[in-house]
Structure 1
Amino acid sequence: MRGASLPNNHQKMKYETYRVIRTLGTETRYKIMGVLMKHPKGIAVQDIAADLGMTHSAISHQLAVLEREQIVTDTKRGRENHYQIAKSQAGAVALKLMRI
């Protein structure tokens, strides 16, 4: 009985992996994830932008995509949003892929 649910769980994991790969498939999002990996407690958008030499707007747009896909989360600290890799299945898959 227990084995009957295995293919369904396997299919869900395959789809989750595909979804994360698709989302991380841009150079900018990949670089953002690299920065976030160095800052597990979170980092402000302006600091990510400075680190990557990009505009605040460009980074915010890409973070919104990553957040929508549940790969990153944000926390309000004062007037700034700090982003970190989400403690979700998508976040875990993204971390594994980034370490390859």
Structure 2
Amino acid sequence: MLEAETIDSLSKLFKVLGDPTRIKILWALNVHDLCVLDICEVLGMTKSAVSHQLGTLKEAKLVKARREGKEVYYSLDDEHVKEIFETGIVHVSHRCKADF
């Protein structure tokens, strides 16, 4: 059995990934590094809503930020996040095809 701390951390990770808005942000960042305003435009959301979700993703170490002049650009934190996200897409795509 996994250690309790590992189970708790994994549960928190899946909880963060369980929000549709955060999935959309991760999808956008999987394609390209973006600033908050670009994410707002892509998702059709307000700056405050996007900033709030980015804070949650950053706290979970799923995204990271880097400053370029006055702009802050967000990207997936590392290759593990990309793998988790892309594996999830493959899994649900496979499940959807199997259901038909």
> Same fold by TM (over 0.5)?
yes
The verdict on how the C-alpha distance between 1:43 and 1:99 changes in structure 2, with shifts beyond 3 A counting, is farther
Deviating 4+ runs (over 3 angstroms): 14-17
5+ residue gaps, structure 2, are 92-100
Gapped runs of 5+ residues in structure 1?
1-5
8 Å CA contact 1:17, 1:93 repeated in 2: no
Report % sequence identity.
29
* Deviation per residue, 1:12-61 (Å, 9 max, x gap): 3x55443221101111111111111111xx21110000000001111001
> Could you say which structure has the greater relative contact order, defined with CA pairs below 8 angstroms and 6 or more residues apart?
1
Alignment correspondent of 2:46? 55
The residue aligned with 2:71 is: 80
* 1:19 partnered with 2:12: yes
Cα–Cα, structure 1 residues 69 and 50, in superposed 2: closer, same or farther, change >3 Å?
same
Amino acid at match of 1:32: I
Q: Is the 8 A contact 2:30 2:82 kept in 1?
A: no
TM-score, with structure 2 as normaliser: 0.74
Aligned match of 1:36 = 29
TM-score, structure 1 normalization: 0.74
Go from structure 1 to structure 2 and tell me whether the alpha carbon gap of 1:98 and 1:73 turns closer, same or farther (over 3 Å shift).
farther
Question: In the comparison of the two structures, how many residue pairs are matched?
Answer: 90
CA distance in 1, matches of 2:64, 2:2: 30
- 1:97 shift after superposition: 2.8
Distance 2:35 2:11 in 1: 28
The CA RMSD over aligned residues, in Å, is 2.6
Counterpart secondary structure, 2:49 = helix
Q: For residues 19 and 7 of structure 1, what CA distance do their matches in structure 2 show?
A: 15
